[in-house]
């Protein structure tokens, strides 16, 4: 289990038990029995939910909301901050109803609200909040209808803020609030010049597409003054980026935001709220560093740094402490979801014994015969094969690098001959196999050398296996493909066995990008993952962890692989598993309808095609009936690989 760094990235929610199973720990009852993910997977199968399954663990989600709220409250108390914290969850990070409902339920104790970036998200927020004191923050482009909806939320007594991104929006807010006679709560989003490390550098700085420039900010302030509505300007919004790996950026961003706050107070706005957006990172690789997929700080430090920075700027100026809002998305939901899938097949790089390659070579074909070089028909006389065998038989601790270089040279020569038509497919296969034998021999000798040459250090990368997983990267892990996001990936069982294979993972789409070949590794990033040999007739399950943020929402229908099955579980105080909700994934008929095919019409067309085949004598009527039945059943089936 140590090799997968579970303790480093698991944040206390995951571990391995003595049976080698990956287990979930109920954060509220860490000493109660732990829940094996393999047992959960078996329980899901018994309920008819086949892999791939997205598993949500409600206890973890509840705990995240609790720890974020409590950490801010603690930091405020420790620092002498005289106001409160209210968090909001950005709906775009995971819009699934079950997730939103759970956040609303668990968040009501802390008046945790929602952030909405569109009309659709605002409707979700308005209908979901369980506490009247939970705020709604409206970001993004807002038309008159969006603003009317937000004003009605105000009328219901909800603290619904419009965060103004441009002067046009301010004009619409002024117009609509007058028309409906409802006083709005207005915020302004500023464009900070603080640059952040990591992937989302451009969320802030001059190239950010969000927020008001200084000139436009003043235009909005003047518009509100003219409309006699400056008393509605009550919030400053600044979002410096998502997944901020470096705490120094947080301090700098908050300090800059405070300067805007101070000057807006000086302009005469009542203010009173400061929203620092999202950005609280998740340590996906467990390295606790300022590398893109990690973070060099803890939650408590993040909260204390925001609170202390505000105090440092505002106290000397005698400005009242604003209510503090943050919009943590990733840090709220990432931990609570795990993608579970089975391995369907493995392409390994094990060399075969020479005896199994020794089939008779066919006579050279005419293309080769025409060429100036001749094809050697007896493989045992082929010069490249002979050289490669010599190299293989000479491998010893003193010449590993030389053998590796020679192996590459002679294999390349063979490939060259094949391209020119002077060697056969069988000869090349024999050369490739001898090459793998050499690599295997070199690998065996590596422990016997004092210093492994650099070129041999990533030997396992160049000859790694391919494990084919029953899932689609594009549907379930889109950030793996889009931004090379690293997620912890590991088997959920057999963790007490030494993994003997080195692999990367391919999905079942027909796309060369459909693979996971970046892995969290305690010593940095790795292109391969240690895995176990798949045993015949036995399932081998992998889990991809920390996938609750962004992945479900951004996923798409590449190759028409649809939504996976989804299940939510809750761990009871005595460590039992309750299967709370289950959602069967898309059927083939569902995904076809997303691309405008009506399943009934498609079936009708197919019946015609089958009838034509009967007429032309390709099918009997009875055969037609069997095939049409199979077609019909497929329409109702899962889009992923099924064992039928």
What is the closest distance, in whole angstroms, from the C-beta atom of residue 115 to ligand PLP in the complex? 6
258 is a catalytic site residue: no
Sign of the Cα torsion 376, 382, 385, 388 reads negative
Question: Which of 55-63, 237-245, 260-268, 583-591 is the region at the interface with ligand PLP (rule: CB under 6 A)?
Answer: 237-245
Quote the strand ranges of 316-450, DSSP E.
Answer: 323-326, 337-347
Tell me which residue of 468, 504, 526 sits closest to 341, measured CA to CA.
468
Using CB under 6 A, which of the segments 321-329, 414-422, 450-458, 620-628 binds ligand PLP?
Answer: 321-329
Each residue of 172-187: b (16+ CB within 10 Å) or e?
bbbebbeeeebebbbb
For ligand PLP, which is the closer residue by CB, 86 or 441? Answer: 86
- Number of residues interacting with ligand PLP: please give it, by CB under 6 A: 17
Strands in 22-24's sheet, in edge-to-edge order, are 14-16, 22-24, 35-36
Find the part of the chain contacting ligand PLP (CB under 6 A) among 71-79, 236-244, 397-405, 410-418: 236-244
Considering only 242, 292, 460, 528, the residue that binds ligand PLP (CB under 6 A) is 242
Stretch of 50-58, 68-76, 325-333, 417-425 contacting ligand PLP, by CB under 6 A: 325-333
> Is the CB of 139 or the CB of 434 nearer to ligand PLP?
139
Q: How far apart are CA 643 and CA 292, in angstroms?
A: 39
Answer yes or no whether residue 330 interacts with ligand PLP by CB under 6 A.
yes
Compose the 135-154 pattern: x for residues touching ligand PLP by CB under 6 A, - for all others: ----x---------------
Burial of 633 (0-12, 13-18, 19+ CB in 10 A): exposed
Minimum gap (Å) between residue 249 Cβ and ligand PLP: 12
Residue from 56, 63, 191, 239 binding ligand PLP (CB under 6 A)? 239
Contact 212, 259 (CB under 8 A): no
Decide whether 121 or 586 has the Cβ nearer to ligand PLP. 121
Based on the shown chain and the rule CB under 6 A, indicate whether residue 329 belongs to the binding site for ligand PLP. Answer: yes
Minimum Å gap between C-beta 586 and ligand PLP is 26
Query: Which residue's Cβ has the minimum distance to ligand PLP?
Result: 278
Least distance between ligand PLP and beta carbon 548 (Å): 11
Q: Of the ranges 329-337, 410-418, 464-472, 630-638, which one interacts with ligand PLP (CB under 6 A)?
A: 329-337
- Distance, CA of 461 to CA of 466 (rounded, Å): 11
The label of the residue with tokens 């693979």 reads: 515
Residue from 41, 68, 91, 93 touching ligand PLP (CB under 6 A): that is 93
Residue 243 lies near ligand PLP (rule: CB under 6 A): yes
List the catalytic residue out of 160, 303, 396, 510. Answer: 510
In sequence order, the 6+-apart residues with CB closer than 8 A to the CB of 343 are 467, 468, 469, 470, 534, 539, 540, 541, 542
Least distance (Å) between residue 239 CB and ligand PLP: 4
Six-digit token string for 562: 């649809």
What's the closest the beta carbon of residue 117 comes to ligand PLP, in angstroms? 7
Output 23 or 240, the one with its CB closest to ligand PLP. Answer: 240
Told to check if 90 binds ligand PLP by CB under 6 A, we report yes
| Residue 264: half-sphere exposure toward Cβ, Cα within 13 Å | 34
Residue 362 DSSP SS3: coil
Minimum CB separation of residue 72 from ligand PLP in Å reads 14
- Among positions 260-289, residues that touch ligand PLP (CB under 6 A) are 277-280
Looking at the Cβ atoms of 58 and 327, the one nearer to ligand PLP is 327
**Token duo for residue 552:** 């479900």
CA–CA separation, 301 and 27 (whole Å): 20
CA distance 598 to 157: 44
User: Distance between CA 553 and CA 567 in Å, rounded?
Assistant: 16
Minimum CB distance to ligand PLP, residue 63 (Å):
17
CB of 276 to ligand PLP, least distance (A): 9
Answer yes or no: are the C-beta atoms of 327 and 278 closer than 8 Å.
yes
CA distance 288 to 84: 29
Is 367:130 a contact under the CB 8 Å cutoff?
A: no
Q: Residue 569: beta bridge partners?
A: 57, 579
Can residue 328 be called a binding residue for ligand PLP (CB under 6 A)? yes
Instruction: Verify binding: residue 191, ligand PLP, rule CB under 6 A.
Output: no
Which of the residues are catalytic? 510
Contacts to ligand PLP by CB under 6 A: 90, 93, 115, 139, 239, 242-243, 277-280, 327-331, 549
């Amino acid at each position: 289990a140590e090799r997968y760094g579970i303790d480093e990235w698991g944040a206390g929610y995951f571990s391995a038990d003595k049976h080698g199973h990956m287990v979930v720990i109920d954060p509220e009852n860490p000493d109660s029995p732990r829940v094996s993910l393999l047992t959960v997977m078996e329980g899901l199968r018994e309920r008819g939910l086949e892999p791939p399954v997205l598993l949500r663990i409600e206890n973890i989600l509840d705990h995240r909301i609790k720890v974020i709220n409590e950490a801010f409250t603690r930091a405020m108390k420790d620092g002498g901050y005289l106001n409160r914290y209210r968090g909001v969850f950005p709906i775009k990070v995971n819009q699934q109803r079950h997730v939103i409902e759970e956040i609303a339920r668990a968040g009501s104790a802390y008046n945790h609200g929602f952030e909405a970036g569109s009309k659709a998200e605002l409707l979700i927020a308005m209908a979901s909040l369980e506490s009247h004191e939970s705020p709604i923050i409206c970001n993004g482009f807002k038309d008159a209808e969006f603003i009317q909806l937000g004003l009605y939320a105000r009328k219901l007594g909800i603290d619904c803020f419009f965060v103004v991104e441009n002067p046009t929006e301010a004009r619409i807010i002024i117009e609509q609030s007058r028309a409906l006679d409802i006083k709005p709560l207005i915020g302004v989003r500023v464009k900070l010049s603080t640059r952040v490390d990591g992937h989302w550098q451009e969320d802030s700085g001059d190239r950010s597409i969000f927020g008001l420039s200084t000139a436009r900010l003043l235009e909005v302030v003047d518009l509100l003054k003219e409309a006699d509505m400056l008393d509605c300007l009550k919030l400053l919004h600044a979002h410096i980026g998502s997944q901020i790996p470096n705490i120094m950026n947080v301090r700098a961003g908050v300090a800059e935001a405070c300067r805007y706050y101070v000057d807006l107070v000086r302009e005469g706005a009542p203010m009173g709220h400061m929203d620092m957006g999202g950005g609280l990172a998740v340590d996906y690789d467990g390295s606790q560093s300022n590398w893109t997929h990690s973070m060099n700080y803890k939650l408590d430090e993040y909260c204390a740094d925001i609170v202390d920075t505000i105090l440092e700027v505002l106290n000397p100026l005698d400005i009242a402490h604003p209510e503090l809002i943050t919009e943590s998305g990733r840090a709220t939901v990432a931990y609570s979801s795990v993608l579970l899938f089975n391995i369907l097949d493995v392409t390994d790089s094990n060399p075969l014994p020479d005896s199994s390659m020794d089939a008779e070579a066919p006579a050279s074909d005419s293309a080769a015969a025409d060429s100036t070089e001749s094809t050697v028909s007896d493989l045992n006389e082929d010069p490249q094969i002979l050289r490669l065998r010599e190299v293989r038989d000479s491998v010893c601790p003193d010449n590993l690098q030389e053998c590796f270089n020679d192996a590459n040279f002679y294999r390349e020569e063979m490939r060259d001959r094949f391209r020119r038509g002077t060697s056969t497919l069988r000869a090349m296969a024999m050369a490739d196999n001898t090459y793998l034998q050499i690599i295997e021999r070199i690998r065996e000798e590596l422990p016997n050398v004092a210093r492994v040459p650099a070129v041999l250090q990533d030997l396992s990368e160049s000859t790694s296996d391919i494990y084919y997983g029953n899932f689609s990267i594009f549907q379930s892990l889109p950030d793996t493909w889009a931004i090379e996001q690293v997620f912890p990936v590991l088997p959920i069982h057999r963790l007490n066995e030494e993994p003997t294979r080195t692999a990367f993972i391919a999905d079942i789409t027909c796309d060369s990008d459909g693979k996971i070949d970046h892995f969290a590794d305690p010593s940095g990033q790795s292109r391969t993952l240690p895995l176990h040999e798949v045993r015949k007739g036995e399932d081998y399950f992998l889990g991809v962890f920390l996938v609750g943020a962004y992945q479900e929402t951004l996923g798409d229908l590449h190759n028409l692989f649809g939504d996976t099955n989804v299940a939510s579980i809750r761990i009871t105080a005595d460590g039992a598993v309750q299967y709370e909700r289950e959602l069967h994934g898309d059927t083939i008929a569902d995904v076809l309808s997303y691309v405008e095919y009506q399943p009934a019409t498609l079936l009708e067309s197919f019946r015609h095609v089958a009838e034509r085949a009967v007429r032309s004598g390709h099918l009997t009527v009875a055969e037609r009936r069997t095939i049409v039945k199979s077609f019909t059943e497929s329409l109702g089936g899962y889009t992923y690989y099924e064992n039928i």
